[in-house]
Structure 1
């Protein structure tokens, strides 16, 4: 996570898995490709196809899924919440009204061991019943990163909406 802009008018942040993790995902591709080519040269067509197409395809699909970056923009000027997802397959953008954004929450999922859990940040919009929940990423992570993202979003919302609600509505009389 990195905060690009944090002003009273705009909060812009980006969520992405660190690049070195993506390189570790792709690390097995070279040996599998070499073994697959050796099997192809040796006449083992079926084994070569499984290695070259099957396993390398699975690693490539994992890389594409994990390489998705999400940019969140809360813009008071335009009154929009923009979620821009960029992956190797293209860019998608969804816009929501800022006044409908209630908060950011954590969606926790527990693994088989109860002491370990992963979290992902979910935006909660109150303009529908039941409330619309939009996850910022498809993957969850452990640690305090998602909690910090949710806290940053909620703090910006409190500053933005709190400042408007507490502003004096009347002018002093003369």
Structure 2
């Protein structure tokens, strides 16, 4: 999670799993491929098929799922809140009216141990009833990263909208 630009007219941030973690996900692919090829050469077709297609397929599917990066752009000049999701399968972009963006909140989930929770950032748009809630990432993380991102978004909204942020119907919650 990193903030690219934070000016009074533009907030750009990117959320994604660090690249070095993605490399660790792909690390087992090479040895599994070599073992699978050795089994194929040795005549163990079914074992080679399980290794080459099954296990490598699972690692590659995990890599594709985890490689998704989300870019949020709050642009006062265009009046748009743009969410661009980029993965190995392509790019998707959704634009929302910036004036409809009410706040950024945390969606918390608790694990079996109550002292550990994970969270992800959710944008709340007030132009629909019930409010439209857009999750910025598909995964939840522990730590204070999501809270810091939500606080940065809410602080930018307060600066941008000024006194409107305290007007009825406009609730900015951290």
Per the TM superposition, whether the score is higher than 0.5 is yes
3-state SS in 2 of match to 1:62: helix
Instruction: Tell me the CA shift for residue 163 of structure 1.
Output: 5.4
1:6-35 deviation digits (Å, cap 9, x = unpaired): 111110111111111001101111111111
3-state SS in 1 of match to 2:142: coil
Instruction: Tell me the CA shift for residue 164 of structure 1.
Output: 6.2
Between structure 1 and structure 2, the one with the greater Rg is 1
1:56-115 deviation digits (Å, cap 9, x = unpaired): 011001101111111100001111000011111111100000011000001111122222
1:1-174 to 2 correspondence within 5 Å?
A: 1-162=1-162
Point out where structure 1 has 5 or more consecutive residues left out of the alignment: 167-174
Alpha-carbon distance change, 32 to 165 in structure 1, aligned in 2, over 3 angstroms: closer
Instruction: Tell me the CA shift for residue 162 of structure 1.
Output: 1.2
State the distance in 2 between where 1:36 and 1:133 align: 45
3-state SS in 2 of match to 1:84: strand
Point out where structure 2 has 5 or more consecutive residues left out of the alignment: 167-174
3-state SS in 2 of match to 1:46: helix
3-state SS in 2 of match to 1:43: coil
Contact 2:10–2:73, Cα closer than 8 Å, also in 1 = yes
State the distance in 2 between where 1:100 and 1:163 align: 16
State the distance in 1 between where 2:155 and 2:11 align: 10
State the distance in 2 between where 1:124 and 1:151 align: 14
3-state SS in 1 of match to 2:137: coil
Contact 2:70–2:84, Cα closer than 8 Å, also in 1 = yes
Give me the TM-score of the superposition, normalised by structure 2: 0.92
Runs (4+) of structure 1 exceeding 4 A deviation are: 163-166
RMSD between superposed Cα atoms in Å:
1.3
Contact 2:122–2:135, Cα closer than 8 Å, also in 1 = yes
Alpha-carbon distance change, 165 to 155 in structure 1, aligned in 2, over 3 angstroms: closer
